[in-house]
Chains A and B, each alone.
Chain A
Amino acid sequence: MNRNRSFLLLCFRGVRQFGFSSFVASLTIAMAGGLFLGTWKIKEGTQKAFSLSASGFDGVLGARGSKLQLILNAVFHMEASPGNLDWKQYEMIKKTPGVKEAYPLAVGDNFKGYRLVGTESSLFKEHEWKEGIKYQVQSGGRLFSDSKREALVGNFVAQKLGLKIGDLFHPYHGLTFREESKHKEIYVVVGILEATGTPADKVIWIPIKGIQMMEGHDSEYASSVSAVLVKLRGAAGFALEMKYNKQGNQATFAWPIAATLAEFFDRLVWFERVLEWIAYLVGCVAGLIVLAVLRNSMNERKREFAILRCLGASRGFVTQVVLGQSFIISLAGAIGSLLVYFIMNGIASYFIREQTGVLLSPFTLDLAVFYVFGAIILLGLASGLPSALLAYRVEISQNLRQSA
């Protein structure tokens, strides 16, 4: 056994000797670190994912109302539609100079809780949901025809409902699934979209006329749209905002999408701050627990250190043993905090995907995570310093004599 092995043995035996307290200390560190990383990275990841999930659109035109509601409804397929727009509004904005692309959307039906969204097939032929990337249909499938009762199923929905090409289904009225509100029409699945990790994955796309003309819908539906997704060129957004939001009173132009979403996330800052402070507090408690564990162990280990010193161990060696012990506790805590973080992220990602279709990357490790990992270990080492100092000062003669 060389000195290094002897050192490791002493560190690990110290942790084992006070196993339960060490475990509680590591667990508290794990909870604090995990909570801190979780709140921070989930917020960051969600914000980033939502911003990227604008599916390549710059703005949304919809009924007069909240911009956020409009974006959530038209882009993220959440919440209720604030109302309908006349078809002419769609035609008008489409012809507006500066508008590169415009696609009408109509909502109001679902299949087993997943929204049916009516649009034009050109959305899938022409639009780049990510720079340079258009929607892809899985092999064997195709886009729906704008004049037939055909459906293109989002990847997530296909997985969840097990829908395959050739499957037939009845739409249900409303945005929530109710058995009794089944429409008579039968749609056939003609294609399944390749996964995009965007809200497009969690809806069933059908021709817009399908929603407009669905049996039982109000006749006004036939000539209206729920929203228009718009892609701009140049600085047309300012002019459109002026036209619709400031001068007009018929419609709302939610633009730019990213800024509106950022405003939404800013509203949640207080909640994030609360969680952050909870994490700091738990972190302090964790540090104090490490301190208490090592301090308590020191009372019992003074004799052991005196024996070691008598056998020839230097003051530095016994100091390092205590720091090693706190390093092991904090390393276990830091690894635990990654696990807590992954679990939190995994659960959050699952629910966000379920609700929005937005795909977070729950298991990514970036530099910031490693910084936090290092900070946790430093915190643990700092908590071990007072006890390490005690070990350094252990009086051999006194402690050997006390034990005699």
Chain B
Amino acid sequence: MSVLNIEQLKKSFFTPSGQKLPVIDVPAFSLDEGSFYGMHGGSGSGKTTFLHLIAGILRPDSGLIELQGKDVGKMSNSERDILRATQIGYVFQSFNLLQGFTCLENLEVAMSFSRNFNTDIAVELLERVGLQDRLSYYPHQLSVGQQQRVALARAMVNQPKLILADEPTGNLDPINAQKAVELVSELCEEKKITLLVVSHDSKIIDNFDRKLNWEQVNQSKDIEADL
């Protein structure tokens, strides 16, 4: 059963000179529930834009993005906010932790936007990623690897259906990168969450049984850089 189903998805941007630049052209794409996907693609090829479209951060020009049977493209702003709070966990390359908040607060703030506030779940997740003694640490007091683990825990905290990981290992050394991939896979397996990791690093993608090539998924060949 598909958790995500995409058909004829198109997205263009306008260049500063006013020229229309097609960025995304995905005729068909789907993710099976509970499966893990690694999608390889070059830098600046529109992968982040694709993830933003799935997460409802950007609206498509046309096409269908069906998440859990609902068309994300036709959702109202508030529905898309709720979608991000409850259905999707997002992991960034630069972690994007809230700097003025402790590890635990980072998770709690994320929980506050869903309807399931439960500090115990947040604590449990931080324990699961090995940060049980860092609950009240601020991001700047943590190592890069630890920050990424907080970001992973935060993405999981609302028990989403889908985790979108955008270059999650881009800021990590190879050892930590490998650990992060193993950890996110373990967690998703435990929680039965579908995982889509996109990366320009083919070694990271090799960790996943289901491998995708962004250049094959996206039919648009015009772009040279992420917009």
A residues sitting closer than 8 Å to B (CB atoms) are 1-3, 5-6, 9-10, 13, 16-17, 303-304, 307-315, 317, 396-397, 400-401, 403-404
What does the 1/0 interface line of B105-128 toward A look like (CB < 8 Å)?
100111111100101000000000
The size of the chain B interface, using a CB distance under 8 A, is 38
State whether A1 touches B108 (Cβ < 8 A): yes
- Closest A residue, CB atoms, query B107: A1
State whether A404 touches B93 (Cβ < 8 A): yes
Query: What are the residues of chain A within 8 A of B226 when measuring CB–CB?
Result: 401
State whether A400 touches B96 (Cβ < 8 A): yes
B113 CB contact (under 8 Å) in A5, A313, A400: A313
Query: What are the residues of chain B within 8 A of A311 when measuring CB–CB?
Result: 84-85, 90, 109-110, 113, 154
Report the tally of A-B residue pairs with Cβ distances under 8 A: 85
What does the 1/0 interface line of B58-97 toward A look like (CB < 8 Å)?
1000000000000000000110011111100010111011
Give chain B nearest CB distance to A373 CB in angstroms: 29
Given known contacts A17-B100, A396-B57, is B94 in contact with A6 (CB within 8 Å)?
A: no
B112 CB contact (under 8 Å) in A3, A13, A310: A3
Give chain B nearest CB distance to A336 CB in angstroms: 24
Identify the interface centre among B86, B96, B111: most chain A CB within 10 Å of its CB.
B96
Given known contacts A307-B96, A313-B113, A400-B92, is B57 in contact with A6 (CB within 8 Å)?
A: no
A13 CB contact (under 8 Å) in B90, B100, B108, B158: B100
- Closest A residue, CB atoms, query B96: A307
B94 CB contact (under 8 Å) in A313, A315, A403: A403
- Closest B residue, CB atoms, query A312: B85
State whether B57 touches A310 (Cβ < 8 A): yes
CA distance A315 to B77 in the complex (A): 9
* Cβ contacts A to B, 11 pairs, < 8 Å: A1-B109, A1-B117, A6-B113, A310-B96, A311-B84, A311-B85, A311-B154, A312-B82, A312-B110, A313-B85, A401-B226
State whether B109 touches A401 (Cβ < 8 A): no
Query: What are the residues of chain B within 8 A of A404 when measuring CB–CB?
Result: 48, 92-94, 167
A9 CB contact (under 8 Å) in B58, B77, B94, B105: B105
B residues sitting closer than 8 Å to A (CB atoms) are 48-49, 52, 55, 57-58, 77-78, 81-86, 90, 92-94, 96-101, 105, 108-114, 117, 119, 154, 158, 167, 226
State whether B48 touches A1 (Cβ < 8 A): no
- Closest A residue, CB atoms, query B117: A2
- Closest A residue, CB atoms, query B158: A312
Give chain A nearest CB distance to B160 CB in angstroms: 10
State whether B94 touches A312 (Cβ < 8 A): no
A314 CB contact (under 8 Å) in B48, B81, B158: B81
Given known contacts A3-B112, A397-B52, is B96 in contact with A313 (CB within 8 Å)?
A: no
Give chain A nearest CB distance to B152 CB in angstroms: 14
CA distance A309 to B113 in the complex (A): 10
CA distance A303 to B100 in the complex (A): 13
